[in-house]
Amino acid sequence: MAREHVNHSDLVRFAQEKVNLPKDRADAYRTQARGLRDKLENYLNEHPDFTLKKMMLSGSLAKGTALRTLNDIDVACYISGADAPNDVAALLQYLAERLRKAYPNFSPDQVKAQTYSVTVSFRGTGLDVDVVPILYTGDPQWRGNLVSQDDGSFLETSIPLHLDFTRKRKDAQETHFAQTVRLIKFWAQKMKRENQDFRLKSFMIEMILAHLSDKGLKFSDYPEALQHFFTYVAKTNLHERIVFEDYYKSSQVGSFKEPVQIIDPVNAKNNVSRLYTTTQVTAIVDAALDAGDAVEAALRAPTKQETVYYWQKVFGSTFQI
């Protein structure tokens, strides 16, 4: 394929300038989250029976896949104790009350229960931290029941195991795995801006790319890495079951009725794509077909202007060379 006008290095520069969360901002966000965690640990040292047991940075910032548009931080909070409610709304109020107790310097309006999380707002930075509760019974791998951001149901999970899962893929393709995730997430955001009904959550993108990486596909050339993703989605129609064996055997995975089956690498009973309808899947496949065709056309375009035109069909008008 011709790469006279736009090549891997150009996509690297585009990612650095338009896609990736800058390092100084990422460091500042992590420092903010670390401060929250440290204050809780200090409180626990003085109140060992306190039901909030641990805070862990989670989400894209923890995984190193955050986009420049990141404006809040995800933190998991492990809660133990027989008095912790199993009703989601009551649990969130319970968590908010105890966060206020652990952080007495925060005013009540800085700690607010939302639909599936509790938001802690920092006045100095204007940064929001979304604290998601996990009901915890002492598992050494920090497995517990998470309140799902999809539908508010309880799902067994382990934040450390999920981070370890991502770390293994990042180690296998240093720099390139995380960067490919960010580029595909950037494309998905563009699709959502153009069509409010378009759905493709970041976790599914990560799982598809992890699956491709495990199959031996290399992401060190970003145009090819993008094509790996788009081609896989288009060829399989997302009907190929994706299962990982990092923490359980594939034989432990039961049967699912949903059209897309991407199984949580930490919980064999959780199909992370269970809520996707056939219509939504068709929209993803069609978008991947269009994006794959645009990449193909961009790599064969005879002029710089035409090449940029096709790359903008993938990434939008912010793509400039």
d(CA 102, CA 247): 34
Residue 147 has pLDDT above 90, yes or no: no
pLDDT tens, residue by residue, 294-318: 999 999 999 999 999 999 999 999 9
At 152, the pLDDT band (50, 70, 90 cuts) reads confident
Please give the pLDDT value at position 237.
97
pLDDT tens, residue by residue, 201-259: 999 999 999 999 999 999 999 999 999 999 999 999 999 999 999 999 999 998 999 99
Sequence-distant (6+) residues with CB within 8 A of 291 are: 187, 226, 230, 313, 314
Contact between residue 254 and residue 268 where contact means Cβ atoms under 8 Å apart? yes
Residue 1 has pLDDT above 70, yes or no: no
Cross-strand pairs, 134? 78, 146
Sequence-distant (6+) residues with CB within 8 A of 63 are: 163, 166, 178, 206
Least confident of 125-134, 190-199, 252-261: 125-134
- What does the DSSP assignment read for 202-233? HHHHHHHHHHHHHTT---SSHHHHHHHHHHHH
This model's pTM is above 0.85: yes
Please report which helix (H) or strand (E) contains residue 14, including its range.
Answer: helix 8-14
Contact between residue 3 and residue 311 where contact means Cβ atoms under 8 Å apart? no
- In this structure, the chain runs to a length of 321
The closest alpha carbon to 232, from 259, 212, 216, belongs to 212
Please give the pLDDT value at position 2.
59
Residue 193 has pLDDT above 70, yes or no: yes
Mean pLDDT of 159-167: 98
Q: Is 248 helix (H, G, I), strand (E, B) or coil?
A: coil
Residue 126 has pLDDT above 80, yes or no: no
pLDDT tens, residue by residue, 70-107: 988 999 999 998 889 989 999 999 999 999 999 998 89
Q: Is 151 helix (H, G, I), strand (E, B) or coil?
A: coil
d(CA 34, CA 14): 30
Contact between residue 181 and residue 206 where contact means Cβ atoms under 8 Å apart? yes
103: which 2 tokens? 């952080």
Burial per residue of 214-246, b for 16 or more beta-carbon CB atoms within 10 angstroms, e otherwise: eeebebeebbbbbbbbbbbbbeeebeeebbbee
Please give the pLDDT value at position 80.
94
The closest alpha carbon to 132, from 151, 156, 148, belongs to 148
Q: Is 54 helix (H, G, I), strand (E, B) or coil?
A: strand
Mean pLDDT of 57-63: 95
Other C-beta atoms within 10 Å of 296: how many?
16
Please give the pLDDT value at position 182.
98
pLDDT tens, residue by residue, 275-300: 999 999 999 999 999 999 999 999 99
Other C-beta atoms within 10 Å of 299: how many?
20
Please give the pLDDT value at position 96.
95
85: which 2 tokens? 């409610």
Radius of gyration from C-alpha coordinates of the chain = 21
Contact between residue 75 and residue 33 where contact means Cβ atoms under 8 Å apart? yes
Q: Is 318 helix (H, G, I), strand (E, B) or coil?
A: coil
Sequence-distant (6+) residues with CB within 8 A of 221 are: 8
